[in-house]
Amino acid sequence: MGENIAQYTADPYVVSKITFPELGEHCYAVKVSPCGKFVACTFGNGVVRILDANTYEPLQRNKLGSPYDDLPSTCVKWGARTESGEYTLVSTSAAGVVFGWVWDGSSFAERVFRLPEDKNDTAALDFSPDGKHFVTGGSDRSIRVYSFDEKKVSQVMVKGVDAEGHSRVAHNNRIFSVRYVSPTAVVSGGWESPVQVWDLRTGRSERQVSGSQIGADSIEPIVGTTRFITASNRSTQQIQVFDYVTCREIEEDSLRLTAACGKTQLSGVRYCAHTKSIWVICLKPHTVMQVDYASGKVLGIVECKVPVMGLDVSDHHPGKVFIACMNEAVIVVEGRAQ
């Protein structure tokens, strides 16, 4: 284990804290690769770093380049493998720029595009299920759809339709979370704005879901279903579960999961299919909580001491969560063998 990795127990977990003192910046986002071998992390000075997902050793460090160095890299996601077997990634900058990367899996990552989003503070990003397209959202309240291979925007979605078919405004505030829920449907959420359900075939929001206050990357699809989970930055009704086809809330699930949170405000949620549990980011105090989805039982709580910026889970690492924190740290939490 490297000298920058400290390990301790926090019943019922083993916790590994990975620090990057040379960066001197907060970690904004973490994302496990689809193959489960790597973890990409973004930092407040623009650096994108790739770690080994098993040993946590650093493998690659990329800078965005002038004039984007020293500006936060807000998001990172993995795309599809290239025909030659290289890995693709996309990262975003608070300056309103999207960067595409191709990595050989060992030492060299090539930046293959830099696409400005004019007058936008890009805060949300997700890849399509096939890893060939991605969407972004941010302060200008638009959803942009990109083709990675073509290195350009394929459509910009802004408007929606109401039940009578009349045009309506979709987002009335900045977007903090955007997720694919199917190959042709995307959901997005913002602060004090209904969650929008976008149809990529029509290029507009066909339905919307009211009730959630999305202030971070707080929308999580439940893979294999038509349901998604939202986490809200408030002290009541923090967890809600919706069906994106009917746009109805699954109230029984919402009430059960919210009860486990008490009055804690939340800023993120991820669903682990292997353990059938959710991991949530709690704001006060700064903790990460694991809750059994079916029963609502709290399985464990990990104190992080500093604000948590994001988290991710992977089917390749059942029972494990990767956490991005302020003060240069990535924390990995894993269930302790009994």
In three state form, how does the secondary structure of the chain look? CCCCEEEEEECCEEEEEEECCCCCCCEEEEEECCCCCEEEEEECCCCEEEEECCCCCEEEEECCCCCCCCCCEEEEEECCCCCCCCEEEEEEECCCEEEEEEECCCCCEEEEEEEECCCCCEEEEEECCCCCEEEEEECCCCEEEEECCCCEEEEEECEEECCCCCEEECCCCCEEEEEEEECCEEEEEECCEEEEEEECCCCEEEEEECCCCCCCCCEEECCCCCEEEEECCCCCCCEEEEECCCCCECHHHHHHHHHHHCCCCEEEEEEECCCCEEEEEECCCCEEEEEECCCCCEEEEEECCCCEEEEECCCCCCCEEEEEECCCEEEEEEECCC
pLDDT confidence of 69, banded at 50, 70, 90? confident
**What CATH number should be reported for the domain holding residue 331?**
2.130.10.10
What's this model's pTM, rounded to 2 decimal places?
Answer: 0.94
| pLDDT value at 67 more than 90 | no
| pLDDT value at 328 more than 90 | no
pLDDT confidence of 91, banded at 50, 70, 90? very high
| pLDDT value at 329 more than 60 | yes
Domain that holds residue 150: 5-335
Whole-angstrom CA distances from 128 to 147, 180, 185 are: 10, 6, 9
pLDDT digit string, tens, across residues 198-227 = 999 999 999 999 989 998 999 999 999 999
pLDDT digit string, tens, across residues 225-251 = 999 999 999 999 999 999 999 999 999
- What is the rounded distance in angstroms from the CA atom of residue 327 to the CA atom of residue 177? 23
> Which pLDDT does position 1 carry in this prediction?
52
pLDDT confidence of 338, banded at 50, 70, 90? very low
Count of domains forming the chain: 1
Percent of the chain past pLDDT 70, that is, above it, reads: 96
Mean pLDDT of 52-67: 85
pLDDT confidence of 21, banded at 50, 70, 90? low
pLDDT digit string, tens, across residues 110-152 = 999 999 998 899 999 999 999 999 999 999 999 999 999 999 9
Average pLDDT, the chain: 92
> Which pLDDT does position 336 carry in this prediction?
64
